[in-house]
């Protein structure tokens, strides 16, 4: 059962977390630079760490 969160915000973006070196990242529009953001994971990861 998933948790439910309520966040007041300006805009929602659906995306995928992608590999980035030893980490991962989510790409957002340039116009979001300097804004405060929150990231919510909505599914289990499909890749396993290679450690």
Count of domains for the chain = 1
How much is the mean pLDDT over the chain? 89
Look up the domain containing 19 and give its range.
1-41
d(CA 44, CA 42): 7
Q: What is the pLDDT of residues 25-44, one digit of tens each?
A: 999 999 999 999 999 998 88
pTM: 0.68
Round the CA-based radius of gyration of the chain to a whole number and report it.
13
Q: Averaged over 4-33, what is the pLDDT?
A: 93
pLDDT grade for 49, boundaries at 50, 70 and 90: low
Task: Tell me, yes or no, whether 9 lies in a domain.
Answer: yes
Task: Tell me, yes or no, whether 50 lies in a domain.
Answer: no
* Predicted pLDDT of residue 12: 92
Task: Tell me, yes or no, whether 51 lies in a domain.
Answer: no
């Amino acid at each position: 059962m998933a948790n439910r969160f309520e966040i007041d915000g300006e805009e929602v973006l659906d995306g995928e977390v992608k590999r980035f070196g030893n980490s991962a990242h989510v790409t957002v529009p340039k116009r979001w630079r300097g804004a405060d953001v929150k990231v919510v994971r909505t599914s289990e990861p499909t890749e396993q760490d290679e450690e």
